[in-house]
Chains A and B, each alone.
Chain A
Amino acid sequence: MNSPHKALQHEGTPENWMPMLELACREVFEIMLGCGLELATQPGDPPKEFTAMVGLAGQLCGVITIRCSAASAALIASKMLGVDPAQAGDQMWDALGEVCNMIAGNFKNKVTGMSEGCMLSVPTVITGEDYSFHSLADGGLLELPFNFENAPLVVALEVHS
């Protein structure tokens, strides 16, 4: 019988996880926001005005982050709540954190064995551009540059070896 750990070993390279991470992102945006995400053909680094992160611990250790501008964070909140972006200001942190949380959960549920063997932290959201992000993850970086309503948005998975 295959143990979850063995199943992870089969799928357990970051290269194999890229399509699952992309699908997890697309599903969350389509289902919860009612809009699609396009992979950016000419990736641009979004302003790091908002960074949401959810930690992964267990069979996979690392962190999933979303980086976007304040305008994109407001748009995410407005689409989730069905209100005008100008009215969504106070909800930006909560909305972006929840989107990151759902992407992390959806992603781990797609990787065989990881659903049982990996726990998620509660989301954290940082605002402001004047900071450096140092993750202890040293096992690889998956980065997906998207266009979200004509603005850059990056989802990244940093893996601890």
Chain B
Amino acid sequence: MKRIRALIVDDSAVMRKIVERSLRQAGLDLSEVREAGNGAEGLAAIGENSVDLILCDINMPVMDGIEFLRQLQSNQKARGVPVVMITTEGSESHVVQALSVGARGYIRKPFTPEQVKEHVIPLLEEKK
């Protein structure tokens, strides 16, 4: 598998580190990890050089994960980039809402590295 550039969007720095560790434990060769504390920072972090994978929380200040997904849809640089939500919000309506605005996967906290692997690897294989 090629080297992966990942963007992790979560208002908790601890959680961003745990997600990064889970990606490495899943066997991903991360060439770059960008971090953002909310959706607005996440959009800015994509910048001119896009990423290969985005993992995003839902409940965040300034811009939540759902609005981030909405704005991502009109971002040419993020076209085709798979987004997996990692969140404490486990309701069916949140899952449906996230999937309807472009999320490709949904992981509920607390989560294991195996769950991250199960959701992320097929998306990256599909993108190859």
Q: Is B21 an interface residue (CB 8 A)?
A: yes
List A residues 86-132 near B (Cβ within 8 Å). Answer: 91, 94-95, 97-98, 101-102, 104-106, 108-109, 115-116, 120, 122
Residues of B within 8 A of A27 (CB): 110
User: How many chain A residues touch B (Cβ–Cβ < 8 Å)?
Assistant: 24
From B89, which residue of chain A is reached at the shortest CB distance?
Answer: A105
Contact partners of B17 in chain A: CB under 8 A: 81
Q: Provide the A12-47 mask, 1 if CB < 8 A to any CB of B, else 0.
A: 000000000000000110011000000000000000
For residue A154, which residues in chain B have a CB less than 8 angstroms away from its CB?
none
Q: Is the CB of B88 within 8 A of A31?
A: no
Q: Is A82 in the interface zone, CB < 8 Å from B?
A: yes
Determine the distance from Cα of A104 to Cα of B13 in the docked complex, in whole angstroms. Answer: 19
Residues of A near B111 (CB, < 8 A) are 31
Chain A residues in 8 Å Cβ range of B87: 105
- Kindly identify, within residues 52 to 106 of chain A, every residue whose CB is under 8 Å from any CB belonging to chain B: 77, 80-82, 91, 94-95, 97-98, 101-102, 104-106
Number of interface residues of B (CB under 8 A): 22
B92 at the interface (CB under 8 A from A): yes
B108 adjacent to chain A (CB < 8 Å): yes
User: Are A81 and B112 interface neighbours, CB within 8 A?
Assistant: no
A122 near B109: Cβ-Cβ < 8 Å: no
**Restricting to B10-32, which residues have a CB under 8 Å from any CB of A?**
11-15, 17-18, 21
- The answer to whether A109 and B12 touch across the interface, beta carbons within 8 angstroms, is no
Q: Are A116 and B21 in contact (CB under 8 A)?
A: no
The winner among A27, A104, A115 for most chain B CB atoms within 10 A is: A115
Q: Which of A77, A80, A106, A116 is the one whose CB lies under 8 Å from B88?
A: A106
Some 13 contacts from A to B, beta carbons below 8 A apart, are A32-B109, A80-B14, A80-B18, A91-B14, A94-B13, A94-B14, A95-B14, A97-B12, A101-B88, A105-B89, A120-B88, A122-B59, A122-B61
Residues of B at under 8 Å CB distance from A?
Answer: 11-15, 17-18, 21, 59, 61, 87-93, 108-112
Tell me the A residues contacting B by CB distance below 8 Å. Answer: 27-28, 31-32, 77, 80-82, 91, 94-95, 97-98, 101-102, 104-106, 108-109, 115-116, 120, 122
